[in-house]
Chains A and B, each alone.
Chain A
Amino acid sequence: MSEPRIRRAAVTGIGVVAPNGASTETFWKSTTEGISALERITREGCEHLPLRVAGLVRDFDPSAAIEERFLVQTDRFTHFAMAAADLALDDAQLHRPETDEAPFSVGVVTAAGSGGGEFGQRELQQLWSKGSRFVGPYQSIAWFYAASTGQISIRRGFKGPCSVVAADEAGGLDALAHAARAVRRGTEVIVAGATEAPIAPYSVVCQLGYPELSTVDDPTRAYRPFTSAACGFVPAEGGAMVVVEAEGTARARGARVRAHLAGHAATFTGASRWEESREGLAQAIRGALAEAGCAPEDIDVVFADALGVPEADRAEALAIADALGAHGTRVPVTAPKTGIGRAYCAAPLMDAATAVLSMEHGLIPPTPHVFDVCHDLDLVTGRARTAEVRTALLLSRGLMGSNSALVLRHGATDVSH
């Protein structure tokens, strides 16, 4: 096999810390079984707020996963990021000895919607209750949305190109695309992904102004996109990191190429203008397919954005039809996030992890809590569906108007023609 002319970006490792599983294995098992992790929020300081239901990460002990000196200077969203990065690097068989030999060949890209709200709130409370002398210096970095990129690279000794994507929820997919571009430009490895921790009092209050937020208090009814009972979205914490690597480098070191980041495009149609997101999302899909060299018929599954707001759901269903034509009504569509919640930038990352695992297991996970679809989509509901998945299309939209589409192809796919 001849070396492709363009360096292809391969996914060689996945790490997930999610509400339905604090390891990739439990996450996949819960996701395929359609087990919902949505629950009533009982977290201290949040009980009286009108947001009732969320996806909360359980069974995650930060002190078991991360050294204390990194814990004291970081927020929960960075704890998730460091832990997920470790899982992804272990999965890719990239350990300290290997990366220490060539630190400049490994970079980090993350996306985050809001940063470290819990840490920030604690320090601001110190400020207003005791005074500025009682605010710790780590406040300057911990609540910054870029913290996770910096801390992952410092902790693992990476010195390659590092970036942070600030582009709304869809920024999660944009971070993967940025990683692919960095690899094509010559970096060997990029640890890429997104994690969020928005379920703390200050952060929850910040979200209460979103008209799209679901305030329904029944976890089985709070987030039901594509149904006539759609009443908004449920937020979540957690996320995923992946190892993106030059395919040639990965194969040379004997790593398993799990998938290719084949195509991506992003558009912008304005905050909460959901009707207009139809055109923006359709255009993003066309751009991603064009870059991937895919025909609409090549798409084996669509991971929907699934906002859960009727006009946004309608716009997404129509965008899929606009961009994929007749195939759009036949292709299986799924939204496992209805059982996890929408973890802002991290939501499409968890979808990306699921997409890779779907290709490997030949199984499309279902959309929990959704049974009665009112759009012309073949939504996978009830139980997981067996299918040969070679190419997946991932969609994501942000509340502020970003639309992104990403095409992932199976690792064994030969597109060097």
Chain B
Amino acid sequence: MTDRITVEELAELMKKCTGVTVTPEELRRDDTAFAGLGVDSLGLLGIVGELENRYGTPMPTDAERSKSPRQFLDLVNSALLTGA
């Protein structure tokens, strides 16, 4: 397991937890927002829960309030880096 969450892993998690199909390329774009993809706050909460179970570490509480995949990845990856 890598110590960083990639856009590929986030795409897979989004599919699993929220049923939203999205390409890694879309997630890389700065202007992609969760709301536009159809991911609601409960869906994001599910993704956070899944990540916490996978990595065995708590994610920042702000993570589930992220507006965009970029913002989300920055937050969770900085937490993983600090934790490591």
Contacts and interface: CB of A to CB of B under 8 A. Distances in A.
B20 A138 contact: no
Nearest to A134: B53
A5 B30 CA distance: 57
Interface stretch (A63-71, A173-181, A198-206, A307-315): A63-71
A137 B38 contact: no
A72 interface: yes
Interface stretch (B5-13, B44-52, B67-75): B44-52
A141 B40 CA distance: 13
A12 B18 CA distance: 34
Contacts of B43: 69, 73, 137-138
Given A137-B45, A140-B42, A69 B18 contact: yes
A136 B19 contact: no
A134 B52 CA distance: 10
A137 B19 CA distance: 14
B17 interface: yes
Nearest to B42: A137
Interface string A253-297: 000000000000000000000000000000000000000000000
B23 interface: no
A69 B35 CA distance: 13
A133 interface: yes
Interface size class of B (residues with CB under 8 A): 10 to 19
Contacts of B46: 136-138
Interface string A389-411: 00000000000000000000000
Contacts of B45: 137
Contact of A71 (B19, B42, B52): B19
A72 B49 contact: no
A70 B46 CA distance: 14
Contacts of A67: 19
Interface size class of A (residues with CB under 8 A): 10 to 19
Contact of A73 (B19, B21, B52): B19
Contacts of B42: 73, 137-138, 140-141
Interface in A57-92: 67-73
A140 B45 CA distance: 12
B38 to A, nearest CB: 5
Given A137-B45, A137-B46, A72 B18 contact: yes
A69 B38 CA distance: 8
Contact of B19 (A69, A133, A141): A69
Nearest to A68: B19
Contacts of A138: 42-43, 46
Given A69-B43, A72-B19, A137-B49, 12 more contacts: A68-B21, A69-B20, A72-B17, A72-B18, A73-B18, A133-B53, A136-B17, A137-B42, A137-B43, A137-B46, A138-B46, A141-B42
Q: Which 4 A-B pairs have the closest CB atoms?
A: A68-B19, A72-B19, A69-B19, A137-B42
Interface of B: 17-21, 38, 42-43, 45-46, 49, 52-53
